[in-house]
Amino acid sequence: MSDAIPLDLDFATGDRARSVTTERRPVRIALILIAVAFLTLFLLLPLFAVFLEAVRAGFGSYWSAISEPDAIAAMKLTLMVAAIAVPANLIFGLAASWAIAKFEFPGKSVLNTLIDLPFSVSPVISGLVYVLLFGLQGYFGPYLQSHGIQIIFAVPGIVLATIFVTFPFVARELVPLMQEQGTQDEEAALSLGASGLKTFFLVTLPNVKWALLYGVILCNARAMGEFGAVSVVSGHIRGKTNTMPLQVEILYNEYNFAAAFAVASLLALLALVTLVIKVALEWRFTDQIAASRRH
Amino acid sequence: MDARVLIEGNDPVALPDGGPLPHWDKTVDVSVETVVKTFGTTPALHGVSLDIAAGELVALLGPSGSGKTTLLRILAGLDVPTSGRVLFDGEDALKLTVPERNVGLVFQSYALFRHMTVLENIGFGLHVRPWSRRPRRRDIRRRALELLDLVQLSGLEKRYPSQLSGGQRQRVAFARALAIEPRVLLLDEPFGALDAKVRRELRRWLREIHDKTGHTTVFVTHDQEEALELADRVVVMSEGRIEQVGTPDEIYDRPNSPFVFSFIGESSGLPVRVEGGGVWLDERPLDLAAGDTPDGPATLFFRPHDVEIGHESAGAIPVVVQGLRRHGGARRLDLEISGRRDRIEIDLPAGDWLNVSGRISVRPRRYRLFPASG
């Protein structure tokens, strides 16, 4: 292509055949260096430090730190909370995006804004809200206590706080895509005789499956890593209500750095695995993902 | 509008002869009775009535905002009229849900299911039927292949929509709509997204499909050429009302309103005055009959090719030549009415009058007078 266009213009002396759509070489190199330096300093270095610190005292102590009963309990709790919060938000996010993108109803913009609330509110407040509602001094506290139900300083509270904080992830992925796709596919399916349910499962859902998966992955990453809100409602009972991020904090505060970084490295590893899954899926299904964006 | 283009030679989308076709005996007549539709406070249709015979191919033609798409969506059941009735074969169609209505819908944007192959797309309508009415998998496949053959896409059944050209996608969309044996076929700007050449091919192809399958078909278009060439009858709409319903010839040759005259084909409109059965341009009597047009201000409409020109003469319209341009197979004259700012355009056969200039006069051979409104 480019050899068809004479680039040998008078003012383009110096670097020959300079592309007209890019900056000069020194500018490009400078920009690339800035970007790489930034990534290294703020992302790669900390990640590297976590793993380095974790194994600094040797693999033996690393192993004993992560096989300790409290650590294992924290892992189990973290996985369990994610296993409840993620499906809950998958269903909620799908339902909300479906409603917002495909239907007109009063209060639609309010709902759309409400979905973002957990992003804009500090996680500590998200936690405090549940204490206020379900804690001993809270609105429903006395009632719950008299019926032997404990929410705050117990697993249900942790699950609730996590659901609240990870609320927007799926919906935020789906709403723009569903809005862009419009309603014509659904109208076509209906006119072809499909019921509402069949239309949803055979047309709407497959059209957004990749965005949905992406939302779920992000939601899961956040559910496992959430600290602030969970910290408020957990009560920090070792071996019972400590999730992995909380366990890391406790160990760190006890100057048990090796153990703290060991658990932290596991958490970081979970995050990395999540990202690897995402990249692998994107790589494996490039064509389908591209096709689902537009025809 | 003499741009009815003939496609020469080997037409790539001609229909195959014979071939097993599904049975098409369920097509219905459609009756729209004083349908009103308002969106919020915005009126979209003001009491529209229309009768469509079974097997007819009808075009809804109008500028954007004329309500033609709203009317089509009401027929499909995707919109509900504020008042009025829609009957399929005399039966109240408004009581039927969209899936029950059994209409074939084709959109401008195709709306093919992107995660399904061509064959799965075409078979979708049969596949989603309730268990008791669902054909066997083998039969769905055979039917879809037949339809694929009908739309001239045999061999592409395993492709995904993203692997097809625009014209091919639209033909898959047709096949998908035909698969459910629709009682009415509704097409919303079916060729709007295609380029001019493919559009002409598909237009002719649709006409052939219609002649072969005989579905009652309603299509929305803003392309008058398409409407006039394709439809048995054209419904011209404007601002939520039907302006005129008629065969393409009636619409083109006998427009019943200034809107239809200026919207369909090319025309010039000249403000004149009707007095005592004569037509006056300012103080000059024109050699035209006013017919039953009432006295008072009126607008004289005529087509660029329905005009003859001559040297200045009494009773003709005196004009000054402003320019001469090539216009397809003809030459187009830009004329300014002497003593006024009004401009008109007329067409001359390309060979003649190469040196027209200065003051001449023109006389419409065919024309319509409409009383000036307001």
In this prediction, residue B245 carries a pLDDT of: 94
Residues A161 and A122 in one domain: yes
Closest CA to A223 of A90, A109, A113: A90
pLDDT above 90: percentage of residues in chain A:
21
The 10s digit of each residue's pLDDT in B156-176 is 989 999 999 988 999 999 999
Name the residue with higher pLDDT: B315 or B107.
Answer: B107
Q: How confident is the model at residue B17 (pLDDT cuts 50, 70, 90)?
A: very low
User: What's the gap in Å between the CA of A282 and the closest CA on chain B?
Assistant: 16
Could you report the predicted ipTM of this complex, rounded to two decimals?
A: 0.79
Residues A82 and A70 in one domain: yes
Residues A73 and A96 in one domain: yes
Interface test with A, best of B162, B176, B183, B194 (most A CBs within 10 A): B162
Q: Which chain A residues are within 8 Å of B104, Cβ to Cβ?
A: 191
User: Which of residues 162 through 191 in chain B touch A, CB cutoff 8 A?
Assistant: 162, 169, 173, 176-177, 179-180
Contact B127, B179 (CB under 8 A): no
Interface test with B, best of A207, A288, A295 (most B CBs within 10 A): A295
Q: How confident is the model at residue B86 (pLDDT cuts 50, 70, 90)?
A: very high
Per CATH, the architecture of B30-102+181-258 is what?
Answer: 3-Layer(aba) Sandwich (3.40)
Residues A252 and A118 in one domain: yes
Per domain, the residue ranges of chain B are 30-102+181-258, 266-371
Interface contact flag, A188 B101, Cβ < 8 Å: no
Which structural domain, as residue segments, surrounds residue A11?
1-55
Interface contact flag, B99 A291, Cβ < 8 Å: no
Strands, sheet with B91-92, edge to edge from the N-terminal-most edge strand: B42-52, B30-39, B83-88, B91-92
User: What's the gap in Å between the CA of B163 and the closest CA on chain A?
Assistant: 9
**Residue B10, pLDDT above cutoff 80:** no
Interface contact flag, A195 B128, Cβ < 8 Å: yes
Residues A128 and A78 in one domain: yes
In this prediction, residue B85 carries a pLDDT of: 92
The 10s digit of each residue's pLDDT in A6-50 is 544 445 445 556 677 878 888 999 999 999 999 999 989 988 888
Residues A51 and A62 in one domain: no
In this prediction, residue B270 carries a pLDDT of: 87
In this prediction, residue A7 carries a pLDDT of: 47
Interface contact flag, A193 B125, Cβ < 8 Å: yes
Residue B323: CB atoms within 10 A of its CB come to: 11
Q: Which chain A residues are within 8 Å of B101, Cβ to Cβ?
A: 191
Residues A175 and A50 in one domain: no
Name the burial class of residue B166, with classes exposed (0-12), middle (13-18) and buried (19+) by CB atoms within 10 angstroms of its CB: middle
- Name the amino acid, one letter, at B142: R
**Residue A281, pLDDT above cutoff 70:** yes
Residues A1 and A111 in one domain: no
Q: b/e per residue, B339-360, with b = 16+ CB within 10 A?
A: eeeeebbbbbeeeeeeeeeeeb
Taking CA–CA distances from B98, the nearest residue in chain A reads A191
Q: Which chain B residues are within 8 Å of A288, Cβ to Cβ?
A: 115
In this prediction, residue B186 carries a pLDDT of: 94
The 10s digit of each residue's pLDDT in A247-260 is 888 888 888 888 88
User: Does any CB of chain A come closer than 8 Å to the CB of residue B114?
Assistant: yes
Residues A102 and A143 in one domain: yes
Q: Which chain B residues are within 8 Å of A291, Cβ to Cβ?
A: 114-115, 160-162
**What does the pLDDT average to over B47-72?**
92
Beta-bridge partners for B280: B273, B285
How far apart CA A188 and CA A184 sit, in angstroms, is 6
Per CATH, the architecture of B266-371 is what?
Answer: Beta Barrel (2.40)
Residues A21 and A130 in one domain: no
Query: How many separate domains does chain A show?
Result: 2
Residues A192 and A219 in one domain: yes
In this prediction, residue B119 carries a pLDDT of: 93
pLDDT above 70: percentage of residues in chain A:
91
Q: How confident is the model at residue B7 (pLDDT cuts 50, 70, 90)?
A: very low
Taking CA–CA distances from A187, the nearest residue in chain B reads B78
CATH of the domain at A135: 1.10.3720.10
Interface contact flag, A184 B107, Cβ < 8 Å: yes
List residues of chain A with CB under 8 Å from any CB of chain B.
Answer: 184-185, 187-195, 198, 202-203, 206-207, 209, 288, 290-292, 295
In this prediction, residue A289 carries a pLDDT of: 67
Interface contact flag, B111 A188, Cβ < 8 Å: yes
Interface contact flag, B107 A188, Cβ < 8 Å: yes
In this prediction, residue A2 carries a pLDDT of: 44
Count CB pairs under 8 A between chains A and B.
80
**Residue B21, pLDDT above cutoff 50:** no
Strands, sheet with B278-281, edge to edge from the N-terminal-most edge strand: B284-289, B278-281, B268-275, B296-302, B368-371
**What does the pLDDT average to over B195-222?**
88
Taking CA–CA distances from A201, the nearest residue in chain B reads B128
Q: How confident is the model at residue B249 (pLDDT cuts 50, 70, 90)?
A: very high
